[in-house]
Amino acid sequence: MSKKWKHAIVIGASGGIGEALVYELAKEGVSVGLVARRGSELERVALKARTISGPSTTHNHQPAPKFIPFIHDVTNYSEVPALLQEITKQLGGLDLVIYNSGIMPPIAKDEYNFAKDKSIIEVNLLGAFAWLNEAAMRFQNAECGTIVGISSIAGERGRRGMPAYMTSKAALSTYLESLRNRLSQHGVKVVTIKPGVIDTAMAKDSPNKLWLYSPEDAAHEIIGAARRGVTVKYVPWKWRMISFILHSLPSFIFRRLSF
């Protein structure tokens, strides 16, 4: 069990899993810097988080946690070093960084669109590099801290739909594993989360509704796994079984599947 977190940053906090993660941390009295592009949504989430955290902090006579919104586009990579420092200063410290930003624009089955592919890689992968490299350096120097990256079951194998999205998640999982191997000797935890289909705006057009899971349940599992220092967590756990099956299928069978 890790020591109690006091200060966290959630990148991609304006909706879906990121929003639910902010509320889960609020229940524990953790101060959170909320990062996303949509300022009005960030304000909404921050306000609700303050409401959630209020009774528990008052009862325990602890200072009220802070929920501070920061408007930022994760593709503005050069902003990250200074922004991370500013958020840390305003929060009063930093124990946990969660990278949740991701996009999945609709891709037709016969569409090959470089502009869409580029935007997916820029947000899902390069944005993670920009933020988590900075977090890694800070936590390595402090010899403590937790990094959580939200990857996906979609990165397990190269299915025919959305090649760039699946590539971005496969690459993110490999990057997180590399960070884990590099930082473990410094007391830093790196947790890879691989959700299945979560009931968010991103999944509304997905034809795959198998085991549709709520963001709230997902966030509860993610925070629990991060606290335990789990290296890789499938959310929900049943997707680990699906992953095993996917990896067991020979290529000549896998390429004939319609998903």
Provide the pLDDT for residue 1.
Answer: 43
Residue 2 confidence (pLDDT) above 60: no
Report all structural domains of the chain as residue ranges with CATH numbers, in order of start. Answer: 7-254 (3.40.50.720)
Using alpha carbons, select from 73, 81, 78, 143 the residue that is nearest to residue 101.
73
For the stretch 42-63, pLDDT in tens is: 999 999 999 998 655 445 567 8
- The answer to whether the CB of 130 falls within 8 A of the CB of 77 is yes
For the stretch 184-240, pLDDT in tens is: 999 999 999 999 888 876 655 555 555 678 999 999 999 999 999 999 999 977 777
**Is the model's pTM score more than 0.95?**
no
* pLDDT bucket at 241, cuts 50 / 70 / 90: confident
Percent of all residues in the chain with a pLDDT value above 90, rounded to a whole number: 72
